[in-house]
Amino acid sequence: MREGLYEIHFHTVHGAGTGIIYAAGGRLRGGNSAFTFIGNYQDKGDTISAKVSTRRYNPDPAFKALFGLEGVTLALNGRVDGDSYDFEGSALQLPGVSFRAHLNRVSD
């Protein structure tokens, strides 16, 4: 995965959200208005595997949790498309709920 800052757009059957995430040295760090995103990734040739945990830091109830839980760990597989990446997976806590994310590279 090319190192840098990415905008992220994600969704499940329960809703959608956006945020930012920075990829560097196998680590992912980011967040949005209510949650942090912290995880790791591994390049596997044409695909990328990632595990990302979310944690609420903003107690404002107007910001709903996408999975209905205050924090989840996502297991994801992705593929590159130019400077963008598409990921699919699910939360370990709710394995039947599909999660999709699209990352667009913003800068180094």
Domain range for 18 is 4-107
Predicted confidence (pLDDT) per residue in 37-69, tens digit: 999 999 988 899 999 999 999 999 999 888 988
Calpha distance 107→4 (Å, rounded): 6
Cβ count near 107 (within 10 Å) = 7
Integer CA distances (angstroms), 75 to 20, 35, 59, 93, in order: 18, 17, 25, 10
* Per-residue tokens: 76: 């994801």
pTM over 0.75: yes
Q: Are 68 and 14 in contact (CB under 8 A)?
A: yes
| pLDDT on residue 104 | 97
Secondary structure in 3-state letters for 51-77: EEEEEECCCCCCCCCCCCCCCCEEEEE
The whole-angstrom separation of Cα 80 and Cα 64 is: 29
Is the pLDDT assigned to residue 83 strictly greater than 90? Answer: no
| Count of the separate structural domains present in the chain | 1
Looking up residue 95, the CATH number of its domain turns out to be 2.40.128.380
